[in-house]
Amino acid sequence: MKLYYFLSALVLALLASACGDDGDAEGTIVVTAYGEEFVEEGLTTDDGWDVQFDRFDVSFGGVSIADAIVTAATTVDVAVPSAGQGHEIGRVTVPTGTYDDARFTITRVAIEGRAQKDGVEKRFALAFDDAVSYSLCETSTRVRKGAEARFEITIHADHLFFDSRASAEPNLLFQALADADADDDDVITEDELEAAGLGAYDPGSDGADIDNLWDYLERLITEIGHADGEAHCVATRIVD
Amino acid sequence: MRTALPLACALFLWSAFAGCEGAAEPSRVTLPLRADASGLSPAESDLGYAVEITEAKLSVADFTFATPGELHTRWLRLTSVARAHPGHYEGGSVIGELRGRFVVDFMASEGTLGTATMLVGTYASANFRFETAEDDAAPPLAGHTALLRGRASRDDASVTFTFVVDAPAMRELVGAPFEATLTETSGGALGFRLLSYDPRSDATLFDGIDFFALDADEAGEIIVDPTSEGAASEAYFELRRRLLAHDFYDVRHLPEE
């Protein structure tokens, strides 16, 4: 009999805990943007190009969590080393509880960098202006009384080099981008990428209309926003 | 009684908290899924070729059928939800399926693939996985994913074509249109179509392919496969991109006649 009461109490306690609120108690959520080591330290693609980012500016149009606005608009260069901590973009004081309502909008991504292989260096400076709203992220943020919790907007920059939008394990490639440098001046431009075919790249089930590398990159850039590392969010392109 | 009551209350609350996962299982209906050739009408490509498909075969596996809305991982005893990455959220909850590997012969008069198990409800999309046909499949499909044969004509001239296509390993197609509401009394069949023309984007399967340019020896016959090079390779990937896109497939509920 005691066991039944114990189990019942345990279940009810779990329920109460999950619901989260602790009266008028409050805590803080610190929101950061982190580009991972791919951006901060560079990466080596599967086809042997060493890629370094000099700049990886992510412009946020608005970030909110726990029904509170963290920041209206800000731009963060996630290429600046952060020792794995990311860059704080705002903080809010909210009632204790567990929150899964984080939303953020990325309005622009501007990148500048270089890739090297076998003594060849290709430079790039590209800007992507498609605004994308991220919501329903598959993560939650637990706020305890008087404590700091973190919500991280994680930028998956390595996705820019995926050779497939459909594969669970795409290759990380740069050669096609290097080959797009049609005038061979070692600078890869938007126009050159627009003129370059996709070759063996797989733009995905919804990619029938993607037939050049610029359009492909534009689509990839709308999928770089994640939360707390690997958590996915629903990404919705905002059409003007 | 005194001991049972608190536990019952707790379990009730737990059930409610968990989203009523323990609720009665929804009704289901079984329907045959068959190849449907009605989507392969002759179509004019963007380069002005009248393209007629005479043979269309596709190696696929594991059909699933989903509700409208974003992808969620609630339910299911019937099946699990596969998640595309990074092509996120291209469908709702999976509530129907037909598991197994199939070589779909779209032009065959009898093309029943199997019996799909479907929950009663409203559907919006279908998904499946591209496969490689086993070696015992008829050549040239054996060892490949798709075979398309036909004739392309323009200005009183024509060529016959054969395209043999390989899909990337484990490549899933997500989000083919499947708009239907199924009830316990739904009969008929489900028709799986490959579309030569996508009215939503006003594009054809063979857009961008300059058939005459590929007929370098002017023999009136072109063969394009994964080993093709140069312009033929570009044509191969052009067609493959569309064959791997949900624009060129759909599933229809075909009520009993």
Sorted by where each begins, the domain ranges of chain B are 25-254
Which chain B residues have a beta carbon less than 8 Å from that of A12? Answer: 10, 13
Mean pLDDT of the B168-195 span: 95
A2-19 and B4-17 are packed helices; what angle lies between their axes, rounded to 10 degrees?
A: 30
What is chain A's alpha carbon radius of gyration, rounded to the nearest angstrom? 21
- Is residue A89 a contact partner of residue A63, using CB atoms and an 8 Å limit? yes
* Interatomic CA distance for residues B157 and B166, integer angstroms: 29
| Mutant choice from A164, A205, A237 vs B, greatest count of B C-beta within 10 A | A205
- Is residue A154 a contact partner of residue A58, using CB atoms and an 8 Å limit? no
pLDDT (0 to 100) of residue B26: 80
Higher pLDDT, B257 or A151: A151
The total domain count for chain A is 1
pLDDT (0 to 100) of residue A238: 85
Q: Which pLDDT tens digit goes with each residue over B231-255? A: 999 999 999 999 999 999 999 999 8
The separation between CA A120 and the C-alpha centre of its own chain, rounded to angstroms, equals 29
Which chain A residues have a beta carbon less than 8 Å from that of B9? Answer: 8
Residue A42 corresponds to which tokens in the numbers above?
Answer: 């560079």
Distance from CA of B251 to the nearest CA of A (A): 15
Domain that holds residue A68: 35-88+100-136+152-238
Residue A220 corresponds to which tokens in the numbers above?
Answer: 């990839």
* Interatomic CA distance for residues B146 and A221, integer angstroms: 31
| Mutant choice from B13, B74, B81, B85 vs A, greatest count of A C-beta within 10 A | B85
Helix (H) or strand (E) holding A147: none
pLDDT (0 to 100) of residue B16: 43
* Interatomic CA distance for residues A206 and B201, integer angstroms: 12
Q: For the CA atoms of B49, B53, B59, B64, what is the dihedral angle to 10 degrees?
A: 80
Residue A18 lies in a domain: no
pLDDT beyond 70 at A78: yes
- Is residue B209 a contact partner of residue B153, using CB atoms and an 8 Å limit? no
What mean pLDDT, rounded, does chain A reach?
90
Please confirm whether the linkage preceding B86 is cis (ω < 30° from 0): yes
Q: Which residues pair with A236 in a beta bridge?
A: A133
Predicted interface score ipTM higher than 0.90 = no
Q: Minimal CA–CA distance to B250: which of B132, B123, B145, B149?
A: B123
pLDDT (0 to 100) of residue A14: 42
Mean pLDDT of the B65-81 span: 51
Residue A191 lies in a domain: yes
Mean pLDDT of the A101-128 span: 97
